[in-house]
Amino acid sequence: MRKKEVRFITVAAIIAALYFVQTYFINAFNLANGMIQVRISEALTVLPFFTPAAIPGLTLGCIISNLLMGNPLPDVIFGSLATLIGAVGTYLLSRIPTCKKNKGAWICTLPPVIANGIIIPFVLKYAYEFPNPIWQLAAGVVAGEIICCCILGGILLYSLRKTPIERELSATE
């Protein structure tokens, strides 16, 4: 394998491990699952802004987290799919020149919010059998995602920009 491929796999593995550890930690406080999920690991969904290696890393981290927390199979599948869609959306938006600039970068925090806001309410309704209407479940999921992706993720996004870490992450492209 070439150096670039090894770096890509290594960065993806580190991101997967970070996602898992953060999700597993927040699950101890019963915040990783439920109507309002505050998975602090979702802040990492901004990392595709810097590197495509974050896409498989986030997806794998979500799959491992959901499996090891004993979540129902629909949550493992569709929750991970929502993370994948959000990560790809963030990566694609990051390629738009106006999103690369300081004032437009916050838009890259939205794809995970949208993907999870559409998919996860149905998982909660049918896999977890929540009695709430879909719109209430969607509102709860979106609220948690805004906290994690837009606020925490936005802080992470702006903190990593113009740092040596950004240059290292970008080297995986």
Assess contact for 49 and 86: CB atoms under 8 A.
Answer: no
| CA 20 – CA 11 distance, rounded (Å) | 14
Query: Cα angle vertex 151, ends 150, 155, to 5°?
Result: 105
pLDDT band at 168; cut points 50, 70, 90: low
Which CATH number applies to 3-170: 2.60.120.10, 3.40.50.1980, 1.10.1760.20, 3.50.50.60? 1.10.1760.20
Which range among 6-10, 30-34, 100-104 shows the weakest confidence by mean pLDDT? Answer: 100-104
| pLDDT tens track for 39-88 | 999 999 999 999 999 999 999 999 999 999 999 999 999 999 999 999 99
Sequence ranges of the domains in the chain: 3-170
